[in-house]
Amino acid sequence: MVSFVRKAVRSVRRRFSGTITHVETAEPLVALTFDDGPDPVITPALLKLLGGHGAKATFFMTGEHAAAYPELVAAVRDGGHAIGNHSWDHPSFPLISGRERRSQIRRCAGVLPGSDRSLFRPPYGHQSTASRRDALLTGHEVIAWSVCVPDWEDHDGEWLADFALQRITPGSVVLMHDGMVDFLGAASPGREATLDAVGRILAALHGRYGFITVPELLRRGKAVRTAWWMEPDLEILNSLQRKSGTPRRYALPELSR
């Protein structure tokens, strides 16, 4: 009995503090996820590519981009894909106030239609105890990833696809980008390499893996949760450039308010 209670407490605690990275399953299933979109050029091309393989994916959109391209949000939804919340305009959550975090999530949720609004992916993957709590307070489940494809770096599609294919196993959640809110250096790396990589991944795993959405993957297996505390690097964050608008600059004293 005591061990049962202890187990139950541990399970509740894990549910409260844990962040989903992937799913435990023996079935060959994988969830491709695309962050920072929708993008007027890349997202439609990506939808076509996925459709050609009967593949479903999950799009973690920023509210700002979703509000700018409602027809793309509808196209993603109509294609049977899932849509998750990636904040309004992509700040590092541990570096802003709790009030702003909750407002970022709610404002984004306001422009995302449908029933998958309860999925949240923190910008940059940055998370603190306080920001995890705010996701919970706004009714969101935090979804991180188990395979992070570095498509913000300068790699071609073949390299990115090989990187992903070496790491994908049943139940993987794969992070890529169909948009790019901000970037290192002088120019935004094009998303064409990501498109090329997705085509190669879909072709390589065609008939061997099922490509499904995160909500569907969560229904098909057991969510694996981990203590996910990714701390922001202020120097890198403050050097990022944005395609449009003024890049956000952070000061240390804002930390953990």
Q: What angle do CA 215, 217, 220 make, to 5 degrees?
A: 115
**Which is closer to Zn ion, CB of 35 or CB of 89?**
35
| Alpha-helix residue ranges (DSSP H) falling in the chain | 2-17, 42-52, 63-68, 70-78, 98-109, 129-137, 157-167, 192-205, 214-220, 234-237
Minimal distance in Å, beta carbon 35 to Zn ion?
Answer: 4
Mark residue 125 as left, alpha or beta (left: phi above 0; alpha: psi -120 to 50; beta: remaining): left
Of all residues in this chain, which one has the CB nearest to Zn ion in the complex?
35
**Which is closer to Zn ion, CB of 29 or CB of 146?**
146
User: What character string, x for contact with Zn ion (CB under 5 A) and - otherwise, covers 111-150?
Assistant: ------------x---------------------------
- Tell which one of 29, 36, 63, 92 touches Zn ion (CB under 5 A): 36
Does 134 participate in catalysis according to the annotation?
Answer: no
- Tell which one of 35, 134, 178, 182 touches Zn ion (CB under 5 A): 35
Contact 243/188 with Cβ under 8 angstroms?
Answer: yes
| Candidate list 155, 177, 178, 182, residue with the active-site label | 177
Residue 151 touching Zn ion (CB under 5 A): no
Does 206 participate in catalysis according to the annotation?
Answer: no
What residues contact residue 209 under an 8 Å CB cut-off, 6+ apart?
28, 29, 30, 168
